[in-house]
Amino acid sequence: MGRSFFWFLRRSCIDLIALNICRIFEDEKDKQGKVKYELNSIDGVLRDLVNEQPSVLDSSRIDDFVRKYGHSPNKGESLSALSLTVEGFKRKYHNELERFRTYRHKKAAHSEFEFDPDSLPSYDVMECLFNFGSEFYMLISAAFVSVGPCDLNSDRKVKVSLKRVLHELGLTNIKTEMK
């Protein structure tokens, strides 16, 4: 019974990860360059920044992000450097993002027969894409809004609850910090 439950849990988690990565990196524009719908994806946030031209409250945060993901920051050109960085990251992971989109369309959102769900990128790639999105949203909060986002690392309710469930199932040496 436990094997079936944890297989189902694993599959459900992979579905949610794939769906959320697709949401984070979803393109707002169609192939003709028209905005299909306004999204809260990275593209949508960048479009809003370009349209609204908000004041940059902390350009050093933008410079750090741009430097971390492979570009040299340009003085006074924070928004264009940020856009180039995002485009470069998306180009670098284009094939992996396409694999997630295919998984979303053929398995997670619409279950099709004969689709191999094991064709997803590695967990390392999943983590890299998710971390980029998470850091991007934290950057926008800090550099443009000056309000911190929800700190996913400090929300311990889920971790404590899972530890309790695993303990009740008979596991005794449960690690909670994976550093």
Tens-binned pLDDT, residue by residue, of the chain (179 aa): 667 888 888 878 888 888 889 889 988 776 676 777 777 899 889 988 988 888 888 888 888 999 999 777 676 688 888 999 999 999 999 999 998 888 887 776 666 555 565 678 888 898 999 999 989 988 998 888 776 655 555 666 766 777 777 777 788 887 776 55
**Would you state the pLDDT for residue 152?**
52
**Would you state the pLDDT for residue 155?**
62
Q: Where are the domains of the chain?
A: 13-154
String of DSSP letters for the chain: -HHHHHHHHHHHHHHHHHHHHHHHH--SB-TTS-B-S--SSHHHHHHHHHHH-PPPS-HHHHHHHHHHTT----TT-HHHHHHHHHHHHHHHTHHHHHHHHHHIIIIISS--TT--GGGSPPHHHHHHHHHHHHHHHHHHIIIII------TTT--HHHHHHHHHHHHTT---------
pTM for the structure as a whole? 0.74
Q: What is the pLDDT of residues 85-108, one digit of tens each?
A: 999 999 999 999 998 888 887 776
Q: What is the pLDDT of residues 15-41, one digit of tens each?
A: 888 888 988 998 877 667 677 777 789
